[in-house]
Structure 1
Amino acid sequence: MSSDAIQPFYAMEILARAQALEAQGREVCHLEIGEPGGRPAPRVLAAVADCLERPMGYTSAKGMPELRQRLARYYAEQHGVELSPERIMVTMGSSSGFILSFLAGFGPGARIAVTRPGYPAYLNILASLNLASVEIPVSPANGWRLTVGDIEAAHARAPFDGLLLASPANPTGAVLAREDLAAIIACCDRLGVRFISDEIYHNLNYVGGDASALEFSDGHIVINSFSKYYCMTGWRIGWLVMPEDLIRRAEMMAQSLFISASSVSQYAALAALDARADYDARRDEYATNRLILAEGLQALGFKAAQPADGAFYAYVDASAFTNDTMDFCFRMLDSAGVAATPGIDFDRTDGHKYVRFSYAGTRETIERGLERLGAFLKA
């Protein structure tokens, strides 16, 4: 592994700097991290309060049976898929889900393809596990969407063993149409590539419904989380759906790597699955924020700032103002008190001219951030 394979997670570096400024008494508009600004649903908090009245010990490494059964019902209700709870594993957020997927699904030295731009932790986790990565570039010309042609061309240049893809995507918010996801999975099957579907932004879609990889195949991996739609980032709770040939191996690894996910968080997650009305209302607030942010960024002169289809990000071209968005973002934070993430976090090659803004917070934060950003650009 090369010394520069693992790089900082710059969204977290910006957050740390913002929190240091806040400790000095500064007010910061947080548009840097994908963290919902609202609280979990009331029934989730009530479920956690109930946990205080009884012992909270380990669960099985795969998670509480009742939570796995409820997750299986979720796939029946949302995607029309009949799924055995035995294929479901509750994880410590999606992060441990990625680790288990890579370790259980691939041998030493395997090559995993990801999109560029993409979630920075993908490359860092792969490098930490001494697995190789292959980046497939996507562009705004195609709405930042990966195509079958992209996959075939990349595989012909340098064959890979797995493909990890998110829809909706971070940082671009790109959403794959159902038929496009089906075509990509069929392509992976033809090439003998294990597909890993990152579905942690499911239910944050402003143009239609989300398709799950489970609708098209039983032989691939699905990763999901309660962090985003369910507003439970700090609770560190997520889940995996594994093919039958991998689930036992993943379970044995989890027994030693993690023992089990938090029992309290598992009870909270179980309650969250029955509180979708609360979270759909929250999504409607994001939809409003999405339009306010896009309109404001376009008015300020950012390019490629049209509203994305999903997630809660705007990944915009800042080349009208800088060719070094790392410096730009730190200056914007220090001078204007607006925190955003430099594009180099998501694209180590071309990200120097992009910035990601999150609209997961409140409308007031976004409007105040845009006002401050406008003053910063005029200074």
Structure 2
Amino acid sequence: MTTSQTSSPAAPTGLDEQRRLVREAREEMVRRHRDGQGDTAEPPIRVMARLVDDLERECAARGFDPMATRLEIVNRTIGDVNVRLITEREGEEGGPQDYRLLGDELGIALPGEDLSGWTASGKGYHWLRDRMTEEERLLLDAGYDPRVYDIQGVGNPLLRGRLAADMRQWGVTASADQVALGLGATDCIDKILRGLALFARRRSESPGAVLFAAPGFNMPELQAVTYGYRLHRVRTRAEEQFKLTDELLARHLRENPDITVVYLTVTNNPTSLAYTPDELAALMEVVRRFADRGHHVHVLADLAYVGTGRPAEDEARMRGLASVPEVSDRMIYVNSFSKTFTLTGERFGWAVFGDTEFSVAMRSSWMNSVSCLPGEWQLRFMAYHTLFSRHPELLEKIRGLYRLRRSRLRTQLHLFDEEHHLFEHIHLADDATIYTWSRLRPGEDCFSVLEKTGVAGIPGSTFGYSDDYIRFSVGIHPVVMD
């Protein structure tokens, strides 16, 4: 990414020159965007994404070698993994650790498609379509026709039953009636916040406040404000690994009786730090204690990254989350296949409600949004669930890819730091999610990091924190250290 780090005596002179020109364009574009930063109301994440896009367009317009551009500009703002761009493999060609095959194994790659030198067989692609036919027959036999209007809007009972059964591995007992399907976890969160706000208005009350721990995923914050909630942000500390502690939660509930929802990411984006079972149990005990005093809150548990880390640790923390039965009826779990199975474009999400009566009441929020979930989408969702149930090794392979990329990215960041002295601290995280979270040295920011290294990250203010922190994703692009 820099002259001393990436140039090689054996590299073609033409490519070296092209890379120098890209670096010059990079510095020029960063200065231009930094100077115009005050003229835009765009959120930081959009500023960085637009900067990278403008830079890539500029390099293309100047006719630079695409390889030079790829080596000198790396977009690490977005978390999604594009399986079509995976190049990593460990061991023999086509062996068990050939991650390029994931596109074929997940049924994403088209038959005959080139996957970084590997030709997709199309076996996964065709299996999914055949399985969708079988799933439709099962639904019709059960009296559910996915091709007609679904009056409840929460999806078919067979898939909801399967997802409810999955919760038992974590000590959570649920039935199909307690599950609602959605177009991704974010869609489910939107519907939940909308539904809770509607219930409050029917009681002639304010929706109250949603407690968000910062740094944290900010999309639910925007949704909460849209539906009239007060945004109650709690800043966590590095000394406590950026986690909401039981003492902190108790203090804010005591001082803010209007808090009605606690949004809790069990494994955090952006920090990649996860709660321990004891920490989660302590938080739930606080919720129970305040419920006994008449201050009831719903806990909206975002499980998006449960499954990207070590399985035993994930199970233990989930059991910690469910360890206080007195608050089980206040729990709302939200999950998806987006991150754990790299299926962000498929939009497979669902919510599990701790209380059946509340779950049924929440259906009005589903009906008033999508009205009816797409039949074809439900069939594909079912086919994928069957695929992962029969082939759990796929999840372990995806975890392996994430571990590899996280390790390489941390190594790369340390190399950058040795050369440019960019970071005050590179957090090791809990070997989960697809991000790294680092504190910058005084005087450094996202712009200077991009200018010096060619790697674009997202500033901490995107997550309700400060811009002396930066998040990088291992997502779309492999980590290349040449």
How does the TM-score come out when normalised to structure 1? 0.83
**1:152 corresponds to:** 250
Write the distance in 1 (CA, Å) between the matches of 2:443 and 2:399: 31
- 1:205–1:9 Cα change, 3 Å: farther
Higher mean C-alpha displacement, 10-19 vs 281-290:
10-19
1:176-191 equivalences under 5 Å are: 176-191=275-290
Higher mean C-alpha displacement, 63-72 vs 155-164:
155-164
Q: Given residue 268 of structure 2, which amino acid in structure 1 is its aligned partner?
A: A
Write the distance in 1 (CA, Å) between the matches of 2:124 and 2:242: 35
Q: Given residue 45 of structure 2, which amino acid in structure 1 is its aligned partner?
A: A
Q: Given residue 129 of structure 2, which amino acid in structure 1 is its aligned partner?
A: A
CA contact (8 A) 1:290 1:307 kept: no
Shift of 1:247: 1.3
Shift of 1:201: 0.7
Shift of 1:167: 1.3
**1:87 corresponds to:** 178
Write the distance in 1 (CA, Å) between the matches of 2:159 and 2:57: 39
- 1:82–1:250 Cα change, 3 Å: same
- 1:41 is aligned, of 73, 84, 106, to 106
**2:314 corresponds to:** 209
1:360 matched to 2:405? The reply is: no
- 1:317 is aligned, of 439, 450, 456, to 439
Shift of 1:83: 1.4
Shift of 1:91: 0.5
Shift of 1:121: 0.9
**2:369 corresponds to:** 257
CA contact (8 A) 2:427 2:437 kept: no
- How many residues align structurally? 353
Secondary structure, aligned partner of 1:134: strand
Secondary structure, aligned partner of 2:371: coil
Secondary structure, aligned partner of 1:152: helix
Write the distance in 2 (CA, Å) between the matches of 1:20 and 1:272: 37
1:310-349 equivalences under 5 Å are: 310-322=432-444, 324-325=445-446, 327-328=447-448, 331-332=450-451, 337-347=454-464
**2:52 corresponds to:** 18
Shift of 1:120: 1.5
- 1:229–1:354 Cα change, 3 Å: same
- 1:298–1:157 Cα change, 3 Å: farther
- 1:341–1:57 Cα change, 3 Å: farther
**2:345 corresponds to:** 234
**2:167 corresponds to:** 75
CA contact (8 A) 1:230 1:272 kept: no
CA contact (8 A) 2:309 2:433 kept: yes
Write the distance in 2 (CA, Å) between the matches of 1:47 and 1:238: 22
Secondary structure, aligned partner of 2:350: strand
Identity percentage of aligned residues? 20
Write the distance in 2 (CA, Å) between the matches of 1:193 and 1:47: 44
**Structure 1: any 5+ residue segments left out of the alignment?**
1-6, 372-379
Write the distance in 1 (CA, Å) between the matches of 2:228 and 2:277: 33
Q: Given residue 146 of structure 1, which amino acid in structure 2 is its aligned partner?
A: L
Secondary structure, aligned partner of 2:341: coil
Write the distance in 2 (CA, Å) between the matches of 1:263 and 1:337: 44
Write the distance in 2 (CA, Å) between the matches of 1:336 and 1:297: 9
1:126 matched to 2:224? The reply is: yes
CA contact (8 A) 1:29 1:339 kept: yes
Write the distance in 2 (CA, Å) between the matches of 1:88 and 1:13: 37
Shift of 1:303: 2.8
Secondary structure, aligned partner of 1:235: coil
CA contact (8 A) 2:78 2:476 kept: no
CA contact (8 A) 1:227 1:233 kept: yes
1:272 matched to 2:384? The reply is: yes
- 1:283–1:58 Cα change, 3 Å: farther
Q: Given residue 174 of structure 2, which amino acid in structure 1 is its aligned partner?
A: L
Secondary structure, aligned partner of 1:170: coil
Report which structure shows greater RCO (CA 8 Å, sep ≥6).
Answer: 1
Write the distance in 1 (CA, Å) between the matches of 2:374 and 2:46: 23
Q: Given residue 86 of structure 1, which amino acid in structure 2 is its aligned partner?
A: D
How does the TM-score come out when normalised to structure 2? 0.67
1:295-314 equivalences under 5 Å are: 295-299=411-415, 300=417, 301=421, 302-309=423-430, 310-314=432-436
Q: Deviations over 1:190-222 (max 9, x none)?
A: 222221111111111248224334454243111
**Structure 2: any 5+ residue segments left out of the alignment?**
1-40, 61-68, 84-102, 108-122, 137-145, 201-205, 291-295
Q: Deviations over 1:159-205 (max 9, x none)?
A: 31211110111111121111221221121122222211111111112
- 1:228–1:9 Cα change, 3 Å: farther
Higher mean C-alpha displacement, 148-157 vs 55-64:
55-64
Write the distance in 1 (CA, Å) between the matches of 2:322 and 2:154: 19
- 2:265 is aligned, of 162, 166, 174, to 166
Write the distance in 2 (CA, Å) between the matches of 1:90 and 1:170: 23
CA contact (8 A) 1:94 1:200 kept: yes
Q: Given residue 173 of structure 2, which amino acid in structure 1 is its aligned partner?
A: E
Write the distance in 2 (CA, Å) between the matches of 1:46 and 1:279: 20
1:198 matched to 2:290? The reply is: no
CA contact (8 A) 1:341 1:355 kept: yes
Write the distance in 2 (CA, Å) between the matches of 1:263 and 1:22: 39
